[in-house]
Amino acid sequence: MVGAILTQATNWQNVERAIDRLRREGALRPRRLAVMPTARLARLIRPAGYFRQKTKRLRAFSRWYVRRYGASPRRMFRTPLGALRSELLGLHGIGPETADSMLLYAGGQPIFVVDAYTTRVLTRHRLIPPRATYAEIQAMVMDTLPARAPLYNEFHALLVAVGKRCCHRRNPDCADCPLDDLPHTRRDIAT
Ligand code: SF4
């Protein structure tokens, strides 16, 4: 869940460096994270970028997690999915992608995470309209695939792999892509 916040607007390698630093300080323990002095926390997560914003977000999340669920993932993920998602979205700095990443990857809940790679691949393959919203893309995938967390996890991982390897924002490498046989456009995508 810490990783879901730290990965906002940065790549996972930077997040891993920040998580390593947190782990070495024992700051992945929620109760410790919740009371860690701001300046120290900001210093530890600096490699993840936007560290001042992310310090506030981590602090808000960890305090809520301790207060509301006693820092117990079992208790947290026993909450019905829709209700828990609404709670997460009400926290400082947690949007749909971050909330859904926590629910799917930490909680094993059957909810699909939409990111820039997903949007790019599905748009170029005309499976979603241009400028579709997060909610529209998520609904399309979840209406199409069975509601199973491992399936959503795998599907998202495959979209990310294709996005990183071939489906670049500009000049997608369709000739080298496993999806080249499916109908698509090569036009540039802003996300
Ligand atoms: S075939 Fe082209 S447009 Fe489709 S996912 Fe691959 S790189 Fe992107």
Per-residue confidence of the chain (191 residues) as pLDDT tens digits? Answer: 999 999 999 999 999 999 999 999 999 999 999 999 999 999 999 999 999 999 999 999 999 999 999 999 999 999 999 999 999 999 999 999 999 999 999 999 999 999 999 999 999 999 999 889 999 999 999 999 999 999 999 999 999 999 999 999 999 999 999 999 999 998 877 76
Spatial CB neighbours of 41, under 8 Å, sequence gap ≥ 6: 27, 33, 55, 58, 59
Going from the C-alpha of 190 to that of each of 15, 43, 92, 95, 122, the distances in angstroms are 24, 32, 27, 20, 13
CB of 166 within 6 A of ligand 1: the answer is yes
Span 2-106: which CATH code? 1.10.340.30
For residue 124, give the ligand 1 atom closest to its CA. 3
149 CB-side CA count, 13 A: 12
CB of 180 within 6 A of ligand 1: the answer is yes
How far is the centre of ligand 1, averaged over its atoms, from the C-alpha of 156 (Å)? 15
CATH 1.10.340.30 domain locations along the chain: 2-106
Stated pTM of the model: 0.94
